[in-house]
Amino acid sequence: MKKGMSAVYPGSFDPPTNGHLDIIARSSHLFPEIIVAVTDNVNKKHIFSLQERINLLRKSIKHLNNVSVLSFSGLLAVYLNEIQSFILIRGLRAISDFEYEFQMALMNRKLNRKIETVFLIPDRAYTFLSSSMVKEIAMLGGDTADFVPECVEKELKERVLSLSKDKYAK
Ligand code: ADP
């Protein structure tokens, strides 16, 4: 590994889960600097705004002093070129992630040949965990304490409550 190389971990993080945090912690031991890059993808329906997702991530990673949280919009390959950082971190949970991630990695390399994707495998406890699953559990009134950081759990509960109030007010 070249000295001083930073790596970028992109994602939606709606909301950040313990699986994301596991990948961030692992990558923070491998690279001198990690940039968690939160996508501002307007086509995706998020329950937390971009700024809320950034704040939740910042609160959750404050013990890791080589990690920062930023946002980007548009094509990831263009963003990586802008910040001159060409190592991408992605998490692989199971075979089911593989096909999509493989395609993305090859497409990013096609868009910019400097981009190298590094796949990390989380602790076994998180291999079944996804943001959408966590949202679904919260919506159905389940306990998400084992799946997300404490700050996320609290905000998620409040958000789900206000969303269901909105729904019934209509
Ligand atoms: P995206 O919308 O880009 O898939 P996500 O926030 O869902 O964004 O995920 C970002 C990255 O984190 C992806 O590489 C995804 O595979 C990985 N990831 C998500 N959940 C987990 C988990 N529980 N364990 C390991 N990696 C994960």
**Ligand 1 lined by 16 (C-beta under 6 Å):** no
Q: What is the pLDDT of residue 18?
A: 98
- Looking from the CA of residue 90, the nearest atom of ligand 1 is 14
Locate the DSSP E strands across the chain: 6-11, 33-39, 67-72, 87-91, 116-120
Residue 2 pLDDT exceeds 60: no
- For the segment 61-120, what is each residue's pLDDT rounded down to a tens digit? 999 999 999 999 999 999 999 999 999 999 999 888 999 999 999 999 999 999 999 999
Q: For domain 6-169, which CATH number applies: 3.30.70.260, 3.40.50.620, 3.50.50.60, 3.40.50.2000?
A: 3.40.50.620
Residue 149 neighbours by CB under 8 Å, 6+ apart:
16, 18, 21, 56, 59, 60
